[in-house]
Amino acid sequence: MRISIIGSGNVATHLAAAFKNAGRRIVQVYSPNMQNAALLAYHLGAEAIDDLSHVSPETDIFIISVKDDVIGSIAETLAKHKRLIAHTSGATDLRTLLNFTSKAGVFYPLQTLSKNKEVDFLTVPLCIEGADESITTLLIDLARTVSNNVYRVSSTQRKILHLAAVFACNFPNYLYNIAQQLLAENEMGFEMLRPLILETAQKVQTHLPAEVQTGPAIRNDENTMAAHLQMLDIKPDLKTIYELLSQDIIKNNNTGHGHG
């Protein structure tokens, strides 16, 4: 299967590398910035283009890996080629492609990806959806060449999955940043927290999060929480975050279950 990658960002870079490692032929890489397209294309042995009017008719599938708000316009441009088009977005409905073509699918990698950080793509969950059963089967087969974790996920399910991923990944990382700032303000380094963060992450690999919750809120340690809140009097935004999270932990513990 001959693949063209539309995009040159984090997801495009890792996905394209996984395809190349699996022996797939990457025909072209598109980016509106020719330098970005050329850099990725060089590593893939592909042609770089910065104009969608130059896409190759030798492509079997276009994989759109760009910002969500331009997926539709790119699909509209590519639809005339009557090739399979798939996007890699977690939050974009399949219907965004179906507005322009019946040959549509989704190829969503559920992982935080950065160009400068290697990842074992075989472990990355790939969430697949197709406009019909034959497209779904084709995309699942393609996905299984680059990942050992392939799931059939509808657009409705994928939106929930994307929301869950924000709670599981983006918000905790923001809280890490808060912690780092608190430490820096008091002449301590973030490296002191890294073993704690790692241990917490490792626990949820084998347990449900509610089963391994620790801290003053789960113990209903009112004295400690009051002391923490007093320390945050000069940071009202952080005080609000602390209160909301603590109250929710207490509430979920009292009801015997979490939100999940």
**Average confidence (pLDDT) over 181-205:** 97
What spatial distance separates the first Cα and last Cα of the chain, rounded to whole Å?
39
159-255 is classed CATH 3.30.200.20:
no
Q: What is the pLDDT of residue 260?
A: 42
Going along the chain, which residue ranges are E strands?
A: 2-6, 25-30, 47-49, 61-64, 84-87, 104-109, 125-130, 149-152
Q: Which CATH class is domain 2-153?
A: alpha beta
Q: CA 144 to CA 18: how far, in whole Å? A: 11
Q: What is the pLDDT of residue 118?
A: 81
- Placement of tokens 């850099």 in the chain: 39
Model confidence pLDDT, tens digit, residues 52-93 = 999 998 999 999 999 999 999 999 999 999 999 999 999 999
Q: CA 165 to CA 111: how far, in whole Å? A: 9
Please give the mean pLDDT across all residues of the chain: 94
Class of residue 120 by CB neighbours under 10 A (exposed 0-12, middle 13-18, buried 19+) = exposed
Which residue ranges make up each domain of the chain?
2-153, 159-255
**Average confidence (pLDDT) over 193-211:** 95
pTM: 0.84
Handedness of CA 36, 41, 43, 44 (dihedral sign): positive
Q: Which of 81, 88, 97 is nearest to 131 (CA)?
A: 97
Name every residue whose Cβ is closer than 8 Å to that of residue 153 and which is 6 or more positions away in sequence: 106, 108, 127, 128, 129, 161
